[in-house]
Structure 1
Amino acid sequence: PSNTQAAPVWSHNSLVPEEPQQGCGVSVKSQTAQRRIVGGDEAGFGSFPWQAYIRIGSSRCGGSLVNRYHVVTAGHCVARANARQVQVTLGDYVINSAVEPLPAYTYGVRQISVHPYFKFTPQADRFDVAVLRLDRPVQYMPHIAPICLPTKGEDFLGQYGWAAGWGALQPGSRLRPKTLQAVDVPVIDNRLCERWHRSNGINVVIYDEMLCAGYRGGGKDSCQGDSGGPLMLERSGRWFLIGIVSAGYSCAQKGQPGIYHRVANTVDWISHIINS
């Protein structure tokens, strides 16, 4: 589309990320990206240097670079994929074009790690997060750099995040923009998100590992093709990955904010995978 929680199989205090990983989350274009995906604008070359473009057979998803070897994406993008079918492009801004000042680089995938509790569901997928291990280390450049991970359990209620991707500019459209789009959306309370959906006749449970962001009146949202891409937040000059585009009932509709995977809920698992 696109809570009772068992105790984690393992947990390790040493896995909680210390203060921002060295050198993560810094965009050379520290101009806040221009405005956005539906209701958005072109992001600006190099604004989000962690943004990945992922091809899975004939499907497309977004992702986020988190260190030299790993990209985080949505579980539903890769749960049924074989690593050999997946290609990850970093440093791209205008897809399939060479107009950018610096080149894009494409990587193969050695390993796909889908969250152990990931589950396809008729509503929003559960624990919709996966980590891809690339086939070679990434050289950081002005337009290729990792994003920071948030602290475990951190709550971003009421703060404005940015979603970015190459997904549809309107719901149901088969047209896709060539240029990376970005949009600002406020994080809203999970219960409020359920109520907004319910007032539109949609009964959806927003579990603890999910996060909603958007506007009661609609108009700005992530959409088909943005799945797996980042919802990110800037704090004192660094960008943090707070959500992963997961699901939505249509796009940018009134009372139907986007549903994201909540990274602060599974950051211990993500850290474990990317540091081992």
Structure 2
Amino acid sequence: MTSFRWWGLLVVVMVVGFSNTHAQEGVARDTSTAPPRPTPPQPRPNAEGATGPVPGVLPVRPTIARPDFDCGRPYTTSTTTNNNRGSSRRTRAANPQTGSQPDIGASQAGGHDSSEPLRVFCGASPISDHFLLTSATCVLDPDRPLYSVRLGALTTSENESSLNSRPVDYDIKQIIVHPEFDPHSTERYNDVALIETVDRIQFNEYVFPYCVTDQLPPPGTTVIGAGFGLVNETHSASHLQEADLAVVETADCQEQYQSAGQEQRLRTAYPKLLKNQDVLCAGFPGRGACKGDEGGPLFAESAGRRVLLGIVSFTGPCSKDALLPGVYTSVAHHIPFIDSVIYGLP
């Protein structure tokens, strides 16, 4: 990600689980000429309380949009980490041993060592102590079986491991792909999947779950992307990158692709184009998502918390002069799917 592409995206980067990256040395965040900031969606506390039940209040239907654990900000030793996930119903689980994909961060076959150089293929974002959100396209490549995800890494270089914030690798228990995503098509609708880890993710001041919202951000909302994807047509970032972008109205997004002669490429992924679909667009002149950022997060900072709004799904050319808004799977559109997996809801 050069000054144009905002990041190599991936706050979690399969590698970075979501870290407070912009506070870390060695992490570049391009905020020059930042777009205006309409009010982003606000995290909604659970009726039972953000960190636990409230006496005398009846329980409500569980949803990741109103979790019963703290989210979107660093954990400390006093942070409550209760996470009542209930039973889980699984749909189309991919076997990570035989071919899901390694694109979410570091694909480690067999044993893994967090001191080894990180190979980043995709991004992923933790939303609870066992689940991360990513794109379905990131986990369905049989040539790149995904075995583990790394959280907390700020650099892919073993020579600069001191810049990392205690990265940890987590083995994958299973991968659940949205039941309406078509792996045999080039379409990117319903491009979302959940990764479940074997062990509970240990949250700290660097790695913590995003808040998830069921509200759509209005056009013009300032959002942030982060990751290790390409910074130009040929080179990937060695340090986690971040940059401010703005939500682009989907009709305007389509027009930009059409004006740039990229409509056919866009239609290959989105035959019905973008309006009234499960996607968001975001970009800013000289900055944007590129190859290698897929699966990573698009988030807003609201009331001191990071709120996950989108998942990188489709990117245009990575040349600074030809950069187009990225297309993101809208998290708000897929709350029912997420809840069905995490809480076992129908």
Aligned partners of 1:15 and 1:54: how far apart in 2? 32
1:211 to 280, 299, 309: 280
Correspondence 1:239 to 2:302? no
Aligned partners of 1:56 and 1:157: how far apart in 2? 39
User: How many residue pairs were aligned?
Assistant: 235
Aligned partners of 1:112 and 1:24: how far apart in 2? 22
| 1:110-145, Cα deviation, whole Å (9 max, x unpaired) | 1110111113544x6111111000011011111111
Structure with the higher fraction of residues in strand conformation: 1
The equivalent of 1:183 in structure 2 is 243
TM-score (norm: length of structure 1):
0.77
The equivalent of 1:49 in structure 2 is none
Write out aligned runs for 1:14-29 (5 A): 14-17=61-64, 19=66, 21-27=68-74
Identity fraction in percent:
27
What is the DSSP-based 3-state SS (H/G/I as helix, E as strand, rest coil) of the residue aligned with 1:271? helix
Name the structure, 1 or 2, with higher relative contact order (CA <8 Å, separation 6+).
Answer: 2
2:147 to 73, 83, 86: 86
Q: Which deviates more, 77-86 or 57-66? A: 77-86
1:269 to 337, 340, 343: 337
1:79 maps to a residue whose letter is L
Aligned partners of 2:143 and 2:130: how far apart in 1? 18
The equivalent of 1:7 in structure 2 is none
Q: Which deviates more, 218-227 or 91-100? A: 91-100
2:170 to 104, 107, 111: 107
Contact preservation (8 Å) 1:147, 1:239: yes
The equivalent of 1:31 in structure 2 is none
Highest Rg: 1 or 2? 2
Cα displacement (A) at 1:84: 6.4
| 1:88-131, Cα deviation, whole Å (9 max, x unpaired) | 00011112432136421001111110111113544x61111110
Contact preservation (8 Å) 1:83, 1:112: no
TM-score (norm: length of structure 2):
0.62
Contact preservation (8 Å) 2:228, 2:292: yes
Aligned partners of 1:18 and 1:227: how far apart in 2? 23
What is the DSSP-based 3-state SS (H/G/I as helix, E as strand, rest coil) of the residue aligned with 2:245? strand
Runs of 4+ aligned structure 1 residues displaced above 6 Å come to 56-59
